[in-house]
Amino acid sequence: MDSAALNALASSDPAAYRRAIRDWIATNLPPAWRSDAIDKVDPTLEELKDWEARMYRAGLWGAAWPKEYGGHGLTLREHLIVSQEVGRVPMPESVNSIGKELAGPIILAIGTEEQKKRFIPAILEMREIWCQGFSEPEAGSDLAGLRTRATHDGKVWRINGQKIWTSGGWRAQRCLLLARTGTLEDRHKGLALFALRMDAPGVTVQRIKQIDGEAEFAQVFFDNAPVEEIDALGAPNEGWKAAVRVLEIERATNRMYRAWRLENELRHLVSACRADPNLATLLSDPAYAQRLAQFRIEVEVLKRYVEGAVEDLVSGGSIGARGSLMKLHWSEAHQRFVALAMELLNQASLPPPPEVRAAQRRFRKAYMRARAETIYAGTSQIQLGIIADRILRLPRAA
Amino acid sequence: MMDTDDIARTARRAAAACAGLDASAAARRLAEDGILGLLAPEEVGGLGLPLSMAAPVVAAGAAELLPFPLTEALLLARLLGRSAPDTATAIVEGREVATIAWRGALRAEGSGVLHGTVGRAPMAGEARWLVAALEEGGAALIDLRAASGSVTVEEDMSSLDLERPAALVTLRGVPAAQRIPAGADWSALLADAQLLRAAEMLGSGEHCMETAIAHITERRAFGRPLVANQGLRFELARHKLALENAKHALDHALAVAGQDPHGQSIARLVARATAAEAGPMLCEGAIQLHGGMGFTWDVPMHRHLRRVRDAAAQCDAIGARAALAARVDEPAENEQGWAA
């Protein structure tokens, strides 16, 4: 089935639309790429780019983006259905989620017509991978304190400064860059967003090795790096407003498949335990049973947040601060779950059956990676502050 | 046609007007606004609305510390609508008070008369009608006034509730006015009661949280309002998260309640567990935020906590999780059709 036929199903028969997506994934995803595969093989970057471009052509990326920019012209409801099906299968993470879930939506919101026509298809076709240039060594949670400067030299913008924790910075062609056009004292005024070319002169990337042993993120140095006027996103003083929107999107709709992927992790853990005599016994131990059930409860609650946000957005509402509730909830629930997975899998029979080894390989990585989940996209403490200030609207000190 | 917000506002006003009334007077006041017939069929004067419309009403009642067994009245008027229409009509019209014994079961002996002790029957001392489970399955409707044989009503000391004191009821040779068969209707009543309890807990919990916010906004210490302290702000943010989690779970369980005649859905288990933990957390947290004031009889936080603790014990988060654990990798009800 091609994407036109698939998209036609979306309105006429949502159940068939879902089935078609499920069938496409089952037919096309190499089984060895699944995180629960016993003989797992890590795909290369080129293979992943090709995979995501095929997903796009099949209708699985860009479902809710306008047709004139290469999207499939459907709604967030279809994006939710795709996300649910993507989540249910432990496929590799997107290598361009910054492009697809942050840069894309923000360009569609504040970009010029020319920018939309240039950037959006390149994201979907995987010609341009994006990274996010927000955090700095002196401006992490306190983003309004960022120091990277953008000055206009009469012809182009010139960028000077440093970004850090830039996931995928080493593979990106573009950086969604937040830089200061005013003074440091202006705080959140005088910030601008740019679509910086990562191959521009004066851009240097250094990878940073993380606690899980990978070097996914990087620091990026800018030494008078040029940005053409046509690559400035929105007005020079609109950067903060746009950045806040980016962060709200990041917390609420980014990786919409997450709830269903977390459920897949739970199912994987349970099925691996059933394959092992020691662990099968532990599954019915009341203490472990309570904790496993608690994670299922937390996953179901997360699904409700996601579905509710989609319905509100489809009927014209906004995401607002509620993304902070979702983000705080899933990141803490997931940290508890991967710790539980490690506790269980540590008690496997010897030698461990292959299903258990596959689960151990998946969850030991997930456990270490999960430490980042309460830090990125705004730490848990930042989320608590947002809930207090913007959801509960507690008065500030006089 | 009233929408949910209208119904909740009406219920809040009516519940506030019931403060200080006994059960019979409260029943008459609530009936004036048609509240007692929300779920009952039209043949007995009810509105026949779905359970989701009753949830904001019991939540409003909880926020006002309504001194009346509202969940019991709503569900019994629905249950008895066909089998005992006169009793159902009397409940809907606020002429008679009915309650349910939520713990224990009665024994039916040879001639069909009932024996035994049941507990957790809110306001049984003021009620004419009692419904209690039977050991053989199903339940019985009992007329506590007309009873031949002997009925003893005592305080049930396992309960904390002050507005709706729970009773232990002992029957010796009392005939049933009506038998309620084990089946879908009785199962639905038991399962739906859990969701209305969840709604009550969240109604009380949200009210307590709002009261605590007002208190710490007013109250000054160390030269500034208490609310300026990040420790308290973060704690309230956690309360809000627990409340919203439980509300999301409950709204979904209510939305799919009609598709689940036996009350066994994963959605219901999730709603029970989340509300049974959020409710006490919110009320206990509000008492803590009130400081010494929170420990006084006159500040009504303890009244909410008492009601919520009773409801949480019945919603039984540990039991809900244990039931869910056995089905932890089952698809949720709303996702079962996905494989088709």
Closest partner residue to B325 (CB to CB) among A292, A329, A396 is A292
Q: Is B329 on the interface with A (CB under 8 A)?
A: yes
- Interface contact flag, A300 B328, Cβ < 8 Å: no
pTM of the model: 0.94
Residue B1 has pLDDT above 60, yes or no: no
- What pLDDT sits at residue A139? 84
- Judge whether A130-245 and A257-391 match in fold: no
Closest partner residue to B248 (CB to CB) among A84, A270, A304 is A304
pLDDT interval class at B270 (50, 70, 90): very high
Closest partner residue to B237 (CB to CB) among A266, A308, A392 is A392
- What pLDDT sits at residue A355? 97
Determine which one of A250, A265, A298, A373 is catalytic.
Answer: A250
pLDDT in tens, B184-237: 999 999 999 999 999 999 999 999 999 999 999 999 999 999 999 999 999 999
Let me know if A277 is exposed, middle or buried by CB neighbors in 10 A (0-12, 13-18, 19+): exposed
Nearest 5°: the CA angle B314, B280, B161 is 60
Which residues does chain A have within 8 Å of residue B233's beta carbon, measured at their own beta carbons? 384-385, 388-389, 394
- Whether B146 contacts B155, CB under 8 Å: no
Residue B131 has pLDDT above 80, yes or no: yes
**pLDDT average, residue stretch A32-51:** 97
In order of their start, the domains of chain B are 1-96 (1.10.540), 98-181 (2.40.110.10), 184-339 (1.20.140.10)
Closest partner residue to A297 (CB to CB) among B224, B273, B340 is B273
- Interface contact flag, A305 B338, Cβ < 8 Å: no
Cα–Cα dist A262/A302, whole Å? 10
Residue B281: name the closest of B305, B251, B300 by CA. B305
Catalytic (active site) residue A300:
no
pLDDT in tens, A162-212: 999 999 999 999 999 999 998 777 777 888 999 999 999 999 999 999 999
A130-245 is a CATH 3.30.1330.40 domain:
no
Residue B340 has pLDDT above 50, yes or no: no
**pLDDT average, residue stretch A99-120:** 94
Nearest CA to CA, how far is A341 from chain B (Å)? 14
Q: Is A292 on the interface with B (CB under 8 A)?
A: yes
Residue A120: name the closest of A104, A140, A131, A102 by CA. A104
Residue B337 has pLDDT above 90, yes or no: no
Which residues does chain B have within 8 Å of residue A305's beta carbon, measured at their own beta carbons? 248
**pLDDT average, residue stretch A154-161:** 96
Nearest CA to CA, how far is A139 from chain B (Å)? 21
Nearest CA to CA, how far is A163 from chain B (Å)? 29
Kindly list the domain boundaries of chain A, sorted by start residue. Answer: 3-92, 130-245, 257-391
Q: Specify the fold of A3-92.
A: Butyryl-Coa Dehydrogenase, subunit A; domain 1 (1.10.540)
Which residues does chain B have within 8 Å of residue A19's beta carbon, measured at their own beta carbons? 340
Strands A149-152 and A203-208: unpaired
pLDDT in tens, A299-349: 999 999 999 999 988 888 877 788 999 999 999 999 999 999 999 999 999
User: If you average pLDDT over every residue of chain B, what do you get?
Assistant: 95
Q: Specify the fold of A257-391.
A: Butyryl-CoA Dehydrogenase, subunit A; domain 3 (1.20.140)
The H-or-E segment that residue A160 falls in is: strand A157-167
pLDDT interval class at A397 (50, 70, 90): low
Residue B61 has pLDDT above 50, yes or no: yes
pLDDT in tens, B278-292: 999 999 999 999 999
Cα–Cα dist A3/A57, whole Å? 6
pLDDT interval class at B5 (50, 70, 90): confident
pLDDT interval class at A241 (50, 70, 90): confident
Distance of CA B234 to the CA centre of its chain: 30
Residue A398 has pLDDT above 60, yes or no: no
- What pLDDT sits at residue A211? 94
Q: Is A305 on the interface with B (CB under 8 A)?
A: yes
B135 phi and psi, to 5 degrees?
-60, -35
- What pLDDT sits at residue B111? 81
Nearest CA to CA, how far is B259 from chain A (Å)? 18
Instruction: Give whole-number Cα distances, B280 to B160, B200, B301, B302, B310, in Å.
Output: 13, 11, 11, 11, 10
